[in-house]
Homo-oligomer: A and B are copies of this chain.
Amino acid sequence: MSRPQSPEPALNVQGASSIGLGDEDAADGTQHSHRMLSFSDALLSIIATVMILPVTHTDISPEQEFDKSIQKLLATRIAVYLMTFLIVTVAWAAHTRLFQVVGKIDDTLALLNLACMMTITFLPFTFSLMVTFPDVPLGIFLFCMCVIAIGAVQALIMGYAFHFPHLLNPQIQRSAHRALYKRHILRIIFHGPALCFVAAGFSLFFYPALVTCLSDVELEELPHVLDTRFFSDRRFAHAPSLLVTLPDAQQSYLLMATVIFLPYVSKAASWCRGRLVGPREPPAHSLEFFTFDLHGPLSKERVEAFSDGVYAIVATLLILDICEDNVPDPKDVREKFSGSLVAALSESGPHFLAYFGSFATVGLLWFAHHSLFLHVRKATQPMGLLNTLSLAFVGGLPLAYQQTSAFARQPHDELERVRVSCAIIFFASIFQFAIWTTALLQEGETLQPSARFGGQEHAFMFAKLALYPCASLLAFASTCILTRFSTAIFHLMQIAVPFAFLLLRLLVRLALAILRALPRLALRPAPTRPAPGGPRDDTCSPLLPAPC
């Protein structure tokens, strides 16, 4: 927070790179990194969301109740998904910081980046292995090896870039303290791998000691936090107890928690120290002007690209399933439906309805995100974290789809399923709303003038972001009262919200038209269209949200 301006140059360099390649770059074999970064963002966002597939494809046969083994499997898979998502996001953030230092690329760097991507693709697999076999040290060992490999490739990239300084960010390139920067950056890069190295050593040599030593002390910490949302559901009410039966998994969870929350912990520690000892002196070589900082804001462009990737893959994971499973087999049609294709298709009708609803939900959440980030100038660390949490729930939407499309088969679970879907949508959208409120806390730095308090787009933005939380909460509440119509309520919500979005704009247009028709109310002439909040209040009544 102490260096609000520093990332701007790096960001602008990246933004400008999309304009096109000046041929002068070709002369020394360097290239702008814009396209490579977009490709990396796309890959990483897909890798982050991939572990939702084992969750959605968990087969629960109709006759079987949610017995303990299924609950355990599902809970483990959901935990794996959430953790993998957070881990890959951490890897993505590290990649972002890396390429804030490296301004341009050449062929070798592009190839090294591909190698880096490849090692990252193994994170979900090794993590999943680690959780599935908590009592086998090999799982944790492989995961640690993977993290170490990523660190090694990143260090290689950094070493290469510092060896050919014309590839570096112009700011660092011109700096007199380049060697100092190099040491500083390499130290940050080796942070995670070093930790994993220790953990791998532990897992191999001190494993028996560790198991006895770590008793149930930290047990309830992480899985609890992550899963209480899911377990609040009635049918899952006794699920937390089963986590207690998994004491061996704590080791891997603890390791993960350390890797993920290390930046935040170190930030909190430095903040506390600052409070106790007084603000630290800036170091002699003015390292604080430097953008490669674990606590500095992320490049807004890359946050957008990563989010786009997640939304795109989530929207299309649904169509992947539809295309693969819902084209009826000609043999089945002949035998079961006596040749009638219409009958065969109408059997998977609920699937299509659920697909429509889910695609609309993902699309509109993307739309809200897009509208929000249009007005964001800079994505600070807390905003990035909230965005990640929002995206993690968006990644859970295929689960919501699977829940709703399974209605036809298992009517007795209907209510629970609708509620889980509502909860997922609610959390995905409420975290978006939280990004907005967090941005408002520092609105001077983070928002465009029009979206700030009193700005002309403020009320409208509030309405856009509040629509989904309100709708899903309303749907959830109605299912509590009208339990029999829960499915109908849910589908009604999914169909009504897109129209609400369209009408939102129309209502604002109407308000603007009224404003223009009453010229004595207009404070400035028509072309700039001032909207002093007043006439728009009828579209969205609580104008000033309490900063939570």
Contact = CB atoms under 8 A, between A and B. Distances in A.
Interface of A: 12, 15-16, 18-21, 23, 26-28, 31, 35-36, 38-39, 42-43, 46-47, 50-51, 53-54, 57, 106-108, 110-111, 114, 117-118, 121, 124-125, 128-129, 132-133, 136, 138-139, 301, 304-305, 308-309, 311-313, 315-316, 319-320, 322-324, 326-328, 330, 333, 341-342, 345, 356, 359-360, 363-364, 366-367, 370-371, 373-375, 448-451, 456-457, 498, 501-502, 505, 528-529
Contact of A456 (B27, B38, B138): B27
A360 B111 CA distance: 10
Total copies of the chain: 2
Contact of A320 (B23, B28, B53, B363): B53
Contacts of A326: 125
Contacts of A360: 114, 118
A370 B23 contact: no
B114 A367 contact: yes
B449 A42 contact: no
A324 B317 CA distance: 14
Given A19-B16, A20-B15, A138-B342, A309 B42 contact: yes
Given A363-B114, A456-B27, A305 B38 contact: yes
Given A12-B19, A31-B374, 18 more contacts: A18-B18, A21-B448, A23-B450, A26-B451, A26-B457, A28-B529, A38-B38, A39-B312, A42-B308, A46-B313, A53-B320, A114-B363, A118-B359, A129-B341, A129-B345, A133-B341, A136-B341, A138-B345
17 contacts: A15-B18, A16-B19, A18-B301, A21-B374, A26-B374, A26-B450, A26-B456, A27-B528, A28-B529, A35-B373, A51-B323, A54-B323, A111-B364, A118-B356, A118-B360, A129-B345, A132-B327
A221 to B, nearest CB: 24
Contacts of A505: 106-108
A38 B125 CA distance: 29
Contact of A371 (B27, B107, B342): B107
Given A363-B114, A449-B23, A450-B26, A46 B323 contact: no
A313 B312 CA distance: 11
Nearest to A108: B505
A118 to B, nearest CB: 5
Contact of A330 (B132, B373, B529): B132
